[in-house]
Amino acid sequence: MRKVIYENDTINIDSGIFFGRGVFETILVKNTPVFLKEHIKRLNNAILKFNLGELISIEDVAFFINKYNIKNKTLKIVVTEKSLIYSTREIKYKASDYKEGFKVSISEVLRNSTSRIVNFKTLNYLENIIEYELCQRNGYNESIFFNEEGNLCEGCTSNVFIVKDKFIYTPPIKCGLLPGIVRSWVIDNFDVIEKNITKEELLNSDEVFLTNSLVGVIKVSNIENKLFKNEVIEKIKKQYDKQINGGQNDE
């Protein structure tokens, strides 16, 4: 039986601490949690994959959110063999981020497309954090990875889409990336072609945008000084915002 932990409670020592054998989900909670069913499904798939024991129920998570009246926050759920950890933080993205778009760098680190953990949100997240902090220090908002075969994968905290001649493309999961919840929403709601994308194709695209569960859909203004447009992106973002805001378009 796992111990349920919230914020500053004592954490059990297990293989999650020793070896990073644990998984997590980060959920946007507005008036209600966004894509809660999809997040818990992905979390439970990871629990099964890494043999972490009992599954998490949507009802228990919803009860926790209601009990602590969590609204307009980021909720993080961490699962290890002995602990179920909840924590909250402020939503960091501002209206100015969407207006200006993200400045993006390209990481020198290569993703391993054959990794057994790269398609899951595991506690082995240090490389992402190091690259994210490095790009932030250098004046960028995000950094993106290519894999050992030279194909585009994902960002430190996001999935990547490109637009060329009005067609939308994104790397397939086999390239070595986390299949994001908002990534799936874009694929389900728009005509998206999944294909290998080289660095040359990325830099020669007309538009680039990023997705994750907290930022939603955000345009890339430039990648290492290459500027991009944002025509198709605005349509996608408008539809996404309308859905998660119950018909209201606000940041």
pLDDT of residue 14: 84
Q: How far apart are CA 28 and CA 212, in angstroms?
A: 10
| Same domain as 81, residue 122 | no
- pLDDT tens, position by position, 181-227: 999 999 999 999 999 999 999 999 999 999 999 999 999 999 988 99
The span from the CA of 172 to the CA of 193, in Å, is 9
233 found inside a domain = yes
Domain boundary among 49, 70, 89: 89
Q: Of 215, 29, 35, 199, give the one whose Cα is nearest residue 132.
A: 215
* CATH number of the domain that residue 131 is part of: 3.20.10.10
| Final residue belonging to a domain, choices 59, 89, 119 | 89
Question: Residues 229-249: pLDDT tens digits?
Answer: 999 999 999 999 999 987 444
- Region 8-13: mean pLDDT is 76
Does the residue 217 lie in any domain?
yes
CATH number of the CATH domain containing 55 = 3.30.470.10
Beta bridge partner(s), residue 79? 23, 84
Structural domain contains residue 251 = no
Joined tokens for residue 184: 């799936």
pTM of the model: 0.93
CB 124 within 8 A of CB 19: no
Q: What are phi and psi of 169, to 5 degrees?
A: -130, 150
% of the chain exceeding 90 in pLDDT = 89
Total domains, the chain: 2
Element (H, E) at 2: none
Q: What is the largest CA-CA distance in the chain?
A: 54
Give the contacts of 156 (CB within 8 A, at least 6 positions apart).
107, 128, 129, 131, 132, 135, 142, 143, 144, 145
219 and 103 part of one domain: yes
Would you say the C-alpha torsion 211, 101, 242, 31 has a positive or negative sign? positive
Distance from C-alpha of 182 to C-alpha of 38, rounded to nearest angstrom: 10
Residue 8 lies in a domain: yes
Judgement on whether residues 201 and 134 belong to the same structural domain of the protein: yes
Q: Can you give the residue range of the structural domain that contains 23?
A: 3-89
pLDDT at 159: 98
Decide which of 55, 89, 123 is a domain's last residue.
89
Q: What is the pLDDT of residue 224?
A: 85
**Residue 246: its pLDDT value, please?**
73
CB atoms < 10 A from the CB of 57, how many?
11
Ranges of H-type helices in the chain: 15-19, 36-49, 58-67, 95-100, 126-137, 181-189, 199-203, 231-244
Q: Is residue 203 assigned to a domain?
A: yes
pLDDT of residue 94: 95
Do 198 and 79 belong to one domain?
Answer: no
Q: Yes or no: say if 169 and 195 are a contact pair by the CB < 8 Å rule.
A: yes
Coil, strand or helix at 104: strand
Q: Are residues 105 and 227 in the same domain?
A: yes
168 part of a folded domain: yes
- Residues 70 and 104 occupy one common structural domain: no
Residues 33 and 52 in one domain: yes
Q: Does the residue 78 lie in any domain?
A: yes
Q: Are 135 and 102 in contact (CB under 8 A)?
A: no
Q: Is 249 domain-assigned?
A: no
